[in-house]
Structure 1
Amino acid sequence: MVATPLANHQTQYLTTDDVAARYRTAPSTIRYWRHIGYGPKGIKVGRRVLYTQAELDRFEQKLAEQESA
């Protein structure tokens, strides 16, 4: 069996609480953002919503571009 680079790569998922702590806000704010279509896009796994680091980076980049415009 040949290992591919992706086979060794494990994506780190963050919970709503993790994202709320990162942005220094309440988890309910993150849930509200998701409800109105704002903020980082989450992945629903069962009843949980998880976020990738790449998605948080994309969201922050979008905010930075809006500020500089």
Structure 2
Amino acid sequence: MYTAAELQEILLTENQLWRRWQLASAKKLQADRVRGVGCPYIKIGRLVRYRLSDVVAYEAKHRFPQEV
């Protein structure tokens, strides 16, 4: 398990995230970014990265049924 500080440091690529979520392709992530929805991301030049802590928080927020 990672500490909170370690989660802040880990960045996932678009390909790593779509594989984690088992999406058909990365195009869903690209479309979400264009629409301004979806998981928060970091843009570094042309590179897109997803902070693991943001991904985990996004997954928890979209978990059904919601845990209390």
Provide TM-score, normalisation by structure 2: 0.75
Matches within 5 A, 1:36-55: 36-55=35-54
| Corresponding pairs, count | 60
Q: Which has the higher contact order (CA 8 A, sep 6+)?
A: 2
Q: What RMSD over aligned residues (CA atoms) do the two structures have, in Å? A: 1.9
Q: Which runs of 4+ in 1 moved over 2 A?
A: none
Measure the CA separation in 1 of the matches of 2:28 and 2:16: 12
Select the structure that is richer in helix: 1
| Identity across matched positions, percent | 25
Structure 1 unaligned spans of 5+: 1-5
Larger Rg: 1
Structure 2 unaligned spans of 5+: none
Provide TM-score, normalisation by structure 1: 0.74
